[in-house]
Amino acid sequence: MGDGAEALDYLRRSGRHGEREEGNPAVILLDLKMPRVDGLEVLRALKTDAALRNVPVVMLTSSREESDLVESYRLGVNAYVVKPVDFSQFVYAVKELGVFWAVINEPPPGTIRRHG
C-alpha cells in the first residue's frame, strides 16, 4: 500500500479496491509513519469497524517512543515490533511475524488464509 488512506480503502473494499476478493487478511502490518493517514489513525479506524476489529494488527515501526507504544496498545494493537536497522534482520523479522500470524496463530472466522 502506498499510504494509510489506500490501506483503509483496500481493507474496506472501497475506492479502487472495491472489487477485491471478500474476506480479511490473517494479520495487518502497520507502520506508524504512513503518509496521508498515519498508522495510529488506521489502527483507530480498524478497531472501530465491526468487519475489521478482530483482525490482528502488528505495529511494525522504527519508533521507540514510549508514547507511540502506549497509544498503539490503548487503541488495540496486538503487537508492537520495532524494525531492526539491518535489512536482512528486518526481512527475517517480517518472515517470523508472517509465520506466527498466518500459520501458528488461530485466526478469527472470516479470515483469508494464504499459504506458500
Q: Give domain limits for the chain.
A: 4-104
Whole-number Å distance between alpha carbons of 40 and 10: 17
The grid cell for 43 is 489502527
Assign 106 a pLDDT band (cuts: 50, 70, 90): low
**Amino acid letter, residue 44:** R
| Largest CA-CA distance found in the chain, in angstroms, rounded | 39
The answer to whether the beta carbons of residues 102 and 48 sit under 8 Å apart is no
Whole-number Å distance between alpha carbons of 80 and 13: 26
Assign 37 a pLDDT band (cuts: 50, 70, 90): very high
Whether the per-residue pLDDT at 116 is higher than 50: the answer is no
Fold category of 4-104 in CATH: Rossmann fold (3.40.50)
Kindly provide the residue ranges of all beta strands, DSSP E only, lying in 3-102, ordered along the sequence: 28-30, 57-61, 79-82
User: Across residues 4-33, what is the average pLDDT?
Assistant: 89
pTM listed for this prediction = 0.76
Whole-number Å distance between alpha carbons of 80 and 59: 5
